[in-house]
Amino acid sequence: MSKLPPFTVISYNQTDNLEDTGDDVVFFHVDLEVNDQQYHSIVPFHRMEDYFLRYKPADAAYFKKLRSSINGFGPKETQVLRLAEEEGYDIEKEVMDFIAAESTLEKLIPVNKKQNGIRQAAFEEQLYQLEALMQEGKSFNLRDITFKDEIMDLLNKKVLEIYPEICNSRPEYIIELKELLIKQVLNLGGEVNNLAWKATKQE
C-alpha cells in the first residue's frame, strides 16, 4: 500500500454514539478529493490517541490530562474534545495530519453516487433491523455507566469522610486509592449489570 497522495478536503464533521448506543465515543468524517476522485474517511478518536502516543507524546499527555480532569467511567470523548476546543486545540488540523500520515487510497472509501445509493439502502435496512436491539443495549449501557459513576462518587465522599488522612497524604497514596476504587467499582458494576440483564431475559 502506497502513501496517500496530496488531497483536498471537501467536508469535515464530527459524530458520536451517544444517541445510538450511549457510548461517549467520537468519529471524524472527512470527504476528500485525490486525483479528481472523491473519497470518504472515518477516523475514530481512539485511533488518534494511539497515533499521538506513537508520534506526538505531548499531545497524548495533553489528552490524558484532560480525561483525568473529568470524573466518571468510560472514554468521555465528547467532553474531552469539548475541553480541548475551549482551550484552542485545533483537532481538525490533527485529523488531517493523521489522514495524511496514516491513510492510503486502499484504506479510503471511494465515493460513487450509484454505488453509494445501493450501499445506503442496504445500510438503512440493516439499521432498521438492529434498531430495537441497539435501544435495548443502550439502556443497559447508560445504566451501567450511571451506576458506576454514582457509586464512585459515593465511595470518594465516604473515604474523605471516614479516612481523611488518605486524602491529605502523599500523592502516590491518593493515586493508589483511586486505582483501588476504580478496580472495585468496575467489578461491581459489571456484575450488577450482568445480573440485571439475566433478570430481564427471564421476564
At 11-22, the pLDDT tens digits run 999 999 888 777
C-alpha cell read off for 132 = 430495537
Do 146 and 95 sit in the same domain of this protein? no
| pLDDT confidence tier of residue 203, bands split at 50, 70 and 90 | low
In a domain, 122, yes or no: no
Q: Report the first-to-last Cα separation within the chain, whole angstroms.
A: 52
Distances (CA, A) of 158 to 8, 71, 73, 151, 197: 55, 16, 19, 11, 29
Distances (CA, A) of 42 to 30, 46, 76, 81, 138: 7, 12, 19, 17, 22
pTM for the model stands at: 0.71
Are the beta carbons of 63 and 69 closer than 8 angstroms?
no
Among candidates 185, 103, 91, which has minimal Cα distance to 146?
185
Do 96 and 150 sit in the same domain of this protein? no
How far apart are the C-alpha atoms of 65 and 177, rounded to whole Å? 18
Last residue of a domain, one of 45, 78, 110: 110
In a domain, 143, yes or no: yes
pLDDT score at 202? 73
Do 179 and 91 sit in the same domain of this protein? no
**How far, rounded to the nearest angstrom, does the alpha carbon of residue 83 sit from its chain's CA centroid?**
14
Q: Which of 41-45, 92-96, 199-203 has the lowest mean pLDDT?
A: 199-203
Do 72 and 137 sit in the same domain of this protein? no
In a domain, 74, yes or no: yes
Do 48 and 96 sit in the same domain of this protein? yes
Higher pLDDT among residues 189 and 119, named by residue: 189
In a domain, 1, yes or no: no
| pLDDT confidence tier of residue 100, bands split at 50, 70 and 90 | very high
pLDDT score at 190? 84
Domain containing 26 equals 8-110
Strand-pairing partners, residue 128, are none
State the total domains in the chain.
Answer: 2
Are the beta carbons of 81 and 26 closer than 8 angstroms?
yes
Do 84 and 157 sit in the same domain of this protein? no
Do 13 and 93 sit in the same domain of this protein? yes
